[in-house]
Structure 1
Amino acid sequence: MSTQRERHAPSVDRPVLLVSAGVVTLFVLWGVLSPESLSELSGDALARVTGALDWAFVLASGGFLVLAVWLAASRYGHVRLGGPDARPEFRTASWIAMMFSAGMGIGLMFWGVSEPVSHLLAPPPGGGEPGTRETALDAMEWSYFHWAAHPWAMYAVVGLALAYFGYRRGGKPLISETFRPLIGDRVDGTAGRAIEVLAIVATLFGSATSLGLGALQITSGLDYVWGVDPSDALAVAVIGVLTLAFLASALSGVHRGIQWLSSTNMVLALLLVVFVLAVGPTVAILDTFTSSVGGYLTALPGMATTTGANADPAWLGSWTIFYWAWWISWTPFVGAFIARISRGRTVREFVLGVILAPSLVSFVWFSVLGGTALDLSLDGVTAIGDAVGESPEAGLFATLQQLPWFTATSVLVVVLVALFFVSGADAAAVVLAMMSSRGSVEPARPVVALWGVLTGLVAGVLLLAGGLGAVQTMCIVAAFPFMLVMVGTCVSLVLELRRRHRPEPPDGPGRPAARTLDLTAAEDGARRRGADPVAP
């Protein structure tokens, strides 16, 4: 009966769609009609969040990493997402390429040079003098901190919860579904819909942040290669053109659109990295990689507990808190997308793959591109630091300008950013449509198109309201409420795993449990009543 009702139920959750789309539409109208008041109010909200709640972001991000590592190492690591007989839908290489492209492709293009160079010029907490080799290593370690294990642990815990409740427990792949152990059937009512609205709003602003960064970098590339004057208006025009492109991709489906774009992105990104490694300061790059990765692992506990009590709050708000908010706002989208492509993998394989593979790529990316920029800057090339200080989106182009084949590599970067823009927004539009369509893995195309258009509009409005600063501000403000939702999701996941996957009784006195029992709902109920849960 329940299956039959679900088959005939409308796929679109009208209250969720109308409320979330209405909130976003009002925001767009506000930005169009009164960009000054939007910028002023969002700035005040940012000051309150970063000034009083930086400790909450720091504690939560560290907790998500600890939880992810514990889940991989625990007895739950063998649990297979989708059932004991499920097998992965995508090859491992394609799986890693898709989640990396969706997870932070544009961000790495934008910040791969600009973040380390920014830290070289304005040292992080505990850093040395600006422009020294000691500070350069600190700069690289903080860049790793912001881009490696912590963000991917956030994606891992949310993606794992969505995959487990959606594909292992037979529920809907929705954030609200993960709260069923905590609030029961209320996830099907107003409480669950409120959670979905928060997830949608956070996702949309996180995605809009990435689109804004991508558009700014493309306009910078047009300036460096063809002399086109960059402006917010040009960035908005770029967003419009690429929005049409990612809508075409999103409407083609996961297999044809996102998979092809993600694989193409990874090949082109590999070509860029290999080229810079070959023609750049190769020995310095390898030295930087070795020293900074070791330094990152050593300094990780201290960096992970840095708050406004022992560091400049303004610096933290511009870097660490912004990043944690950005990753948090992306977790519904990236988590849902990773869950969607990870069916059939074990918990251990999921966590290790989601955290280790992208972290290694981040280490290599920053070492090659950021390491090249740092080495050139330390050798007296001031053009890179000047470009980053004026506009962070120009950092990569200023670095490539010091290497051979500048025009060809700059065109490659513009193409890469455009493809990352399309693939990331493509996946975001599909996931937003899923969340507003009761978790349907094949949401209606008009709903996908609606969310694609709204994401592009929000990115354009934020750029017009204050450029990069406004983009970062709204990302942080929108992420804080969803951080609380993430904490609830993690608690619920642990409770459900403990209840459903209990240690098997030992065969005899003093003998330990060898494995866990994977109980269905019916079997768990039978066990609670004292019956044999595995009896026919």
Structure 2
Amino acid sequence: MKKVTSVFVVSVIVSVLFIIWGILPESMIGSANLANVTGLIQAFIIEKFGWFYLLTATFFLIFAIGLIFSKFGNVKLGKDDDEPEYSYLSWFAMLFSAGMGIGLVFWGVSEPISHYSAPPPNQEAFTDAAASAAMRYSFFHWGLHPWAIYSVIALALAYFTFRHNQNGVISNILRPVFGDKVDGKLGVLVNFIAVFATIFGVATSLGLGAIQIGGGASYLFPGIENGFATQLVIIVIVTVLFMVSAQTGLNKGIKYLSNINVVLAILLMIFLLFAGPTNFIMDFFTTTLGSYIQNLPSLSFRLTPFDQENTWVQDWTLFYWAWWISWAPFVGTFIARISKGRTVREFVIGVLAVPTIFGALWFSVFGGAGLFLQHFQGIEIIEIINERGTEVALFAVLENFPMGTFMSILAILLICTFFITSADSATFVLGMQTTNGSLNPPNSVKFVWGLIQSATAAILLYTGGLEALQTAAIIVALPFAIIMILMVVALWRTLFKEKVIRVKVVEKKDH
């Protein structure tokens, strides 16, 4: 523990105090309990700053796409002769597993079905148009915008760490903006916000994972109840597994499990594609992809100022943008760590395009199968969700196809491996951010963060279930969104300065 910093100490203290606050019974603190307080803060943020999340996410996407076509595209994330550490397959597998693995499995069926039954503004439920809009918005929420958010912070971290030999902490990216102030209290504050955002963001997904594993187990085995006790047992078991994986380091546990994740996900997706309504799924994918690209500009700026009573955009789009921003320090740091040696253009195209296309295909297969059953065959997937919860939607769909039980067990295994890799990656990132950017943080530090993030997930589930998890993610995203905008400024300044220096060097050589 010799390498720990003040950020580690402050973050651990605040996290432990937060966990204690969550444990305190309502009889002791009344309305000042965790769920009530975070709910009030969330309502205020969404009411006053919802537009800010929307504009910020869209700004990051425009900036990322602009870099692809800019004069900075050939700049290496490292020295000019550095080569990538990982193959494309391992690189994509790790960034995808860390980025949104559990979420895709959780929402793959339930989000399109939810939009179909409770559609966006100006749509009528249970219609062909509602089904089309449901899939288009699923593409939108899990497509280019979230990966643009990830790419901005990951690119900045990789660039400053591997090309300018900075240690891999968030505050160092802001040096071109604030100078040496980042070495003092300002830097501690920035890194603390990043660490806290990571804890909440990962806790959200760990909670989702525990809920869905419990939901799958209770769906397959009626004697198991998907309550807090079951979810707590799942969290404890998976915590032990990811702590063991975390001790093996980046090139063993995370890399191998990420590759297994992708293989399992592809197998499950291919099975359902061919066992299900193949033509419908692929037609739906093709049509929705075109519609998504066509409507991307209007979707990116859509709010409902003249329909104040309709909170659909706030409940879905704005929540997602906040959720992705809260995940950004974790996923961004991890993607940066595995991206040394790639060019800016290669990096941005890879991070934006590949996961977006895979996610679109995933929603088309799983969400498309659910919509097909509901819309054409009258199988009430929505009723099952209303009765037994969002977490059982995937299993309710799989049981309607051959080998449904086996596929459901495979899906639970996939959720477990995504759970492990997300938590494993998070302990690695939290270790980096609290040990001055060490590329191989001590196992003891990772162990502490593993316990804290699992405890946070358990407390949030205990105090308010999924709603409390979502609320916490939205709250911590606001300050970090501001930090990310400053990162873009710092990155642009430094890239421009480097390009100017290079031009002058070339001109001197020519003379």
TM range (shorter): over 0.9
Percent identical = 43
Q: After superposition, give the CA deviation of every residue in 1:37-78 in whole Å (9 maximum; x if it has no partner).
A: 111111111110111110000000000000000111100000
CA contact (8 A) 1:118 1:388 kept: no
- Is it true that 1:475 corresponds to 2:473 in the alignment? yes
2:339 and 2:310 mapped to 1: Cα distance? Answer: 38
Give the counterpart letter for 1:401 in structure 2.
E
Q: 2:319 aligns with which of 314, 322, 334?
A: 322
In the superposition, relative to structure 1, how do residues 75 and 310 fare at CA in structure 2: closer, same or farther (>3 Å)?
Answer: farther
Q: Secondary structure at the match of 1:319?
A: helix
CA positional deviation for 1:478: 1.2
Give the counterpart letter for 2:52 in structure 1.
A
2:305 and 2:342 mapped to 1: Cα distance? Answer: 42
CA contact (8 A) 1:112 1:365 kept: yes
Give the counterpart letter for 2:406 in structure 1.
A
1:130 and 1:408 mapped to 2: Cα distance? Answer: 33
Residue in 1 that maps onto 2:482: 484
1:68 and 1:484 mapped to 2: Cα distance? Answer: 17
Residue in 2 that maps onto 1:50: 46
Residue in 2 that maps onto 1:175: 170
Give the counterpart letter for 1:348 in structure 2.
R
Q: Secondary structure at the match of 2:464?
A: helix
In the superposition, relative to structure 1, how do residues 534 and 195 fare at CA in structure 2: closer, same or farther (>3 Å)?
Answer: farther
Residue in 2 that maps onto 1:216: 211
1:308 and 1:392 mapped to 2: Cα distance? Answer: 26
1:60 and 1:98 mapped to 2: Cα distance? Answer: 26
1:308 and 1:39 mapped to 2: Cα distance? Answer: 27
1:340 and 1:254 mapped to 2: Cα distance? Answer: 10
Residue in 1 that maps onto 2:15: 24
1:198 and 1:533 mapped to 2: Cα distance? Answer: 44
Residue in 2 that maps onto 1:369: 366
1:194 and 1:124 mapped to 2: Cα distance? Answer: 38
Residue in 1 that maps onto 2:291: 295
Once the two structures are superposed, the pairs formed by residues 352-391 of structure 1 within 5 Å of their partners are 352-390=349-387, 391=389
1:148 and 1:499 mapped to 2: Cα distance? Answer: 32
Residue in 1 that maps onto 2:4: 12
Once the two structures are superposed, the pairs formed by residues 77-476 of structure 1 within 5 Å of their partners are 77-127=73-123, 129-227=124-222, 228-309=224-305, 314-390=311-387, 391-476=389-474
Residue in 2 that maps onto 1:521: none
Residue in 2 that maps onto 1:499: 497
Q: After superposition, give the CA deviation of every residue in 1:167-212 in whole Å (9 maximum; x if it has no partner).
A: 1111011110100101111111111111000000001100000000
Deviating 4+ runs (over 4 angstroms): 310-313, 532-535
Q: Secondary structure at the match of 2:400?
A: coil
CA contact (8 A) 1:258 1:423 kept: yes
Give the counterpart letter for 2:133 in structure 1.
D
Give the counterpart letter for 2:146 in structure 1.
P
Which is worse superposed, 18-27 or 338-347? 18-27
In the superposition, relative to structure 1, how do residues 81 and 221 fare at CA in structure 2: closer, same or farther (>3 Å)?
Answer: same
CA positional deviation for 1:534: 6.7
2:270 and 2:416 mapped to 1: Cα distance? Answer: 20
Number of equivalenced pairs: 502
Q: Give 5+ residue unaligned stretches, structure 1.
A: 1-8, 506-515, 519-531
CA contact (8 A) 2:121 2:310 kept: no
CA positional deviation for 1:423: 0.4
Q: Secondary structure at the match of 1:78?
A: coil
Give the counterpart letter for 1:324 in structure 2.
W
1:420 and 1:286 mapped to 2: Cα distance? Answer: 26
Q: Which has the greater radius of gyration?
A: 1
Q: After superposition, give the CA deviation of every residue in 1:113-137 in whole Å (9 maximum; x if it has no partner).
A: 000000000011232x211111101
2:377 and 2:42 mapped to 1: Cα distance? Answer: 37
2:121 and 2:496 mapped to 1: Cα distance? Answer: 40
TM-score by length of 1: 0.91
Give the counterpart letter for 1:68 in structure 2.
A
CA contact (8 A) 1:117 1:388 kept: no
In the superposition, relative to structure 1, how do residues 292 and 517 fare at CA in structure 2: closer, same or farther (>3 Å)?
Answer: farther
CA positional deviation for 1:316: 2.2
Give the counterpart letter for 1:292 in structure 2.
T
- Is it true that 1:33 corresponds to 2:29 in the alignment? no
Q: Secondary structure at the match of 1:53?
A: helix
Q: Give 5+ residue unaligned stretches, structure 2.
A: none
- Aligned residues: CA RMSD: 1.7
2:246 and 2:377 mapped to 1: Cα distance? Answer: 46
CA positional deviation for 1:18: 1.1
Give the counterpart letter for 1:79 in structure 2.
V
1:167 and 1:33 mapped to 2: Cα distance? Answer: 45
2:188 and 2:445 mapped to 1: Cα distance? Answer: 17
1:389 and 1:473 mapped to 2: Cα distance? Answer: 21
CA contact (8 A) 2:273 2:281 kept: yes
CA positional deviation for 1:233: 2.0
CA positional deviation for 1:383: 2.9
TM-score by length of 2: 0.96
Q: Secondary structure at the match of 1:76?
A: coil
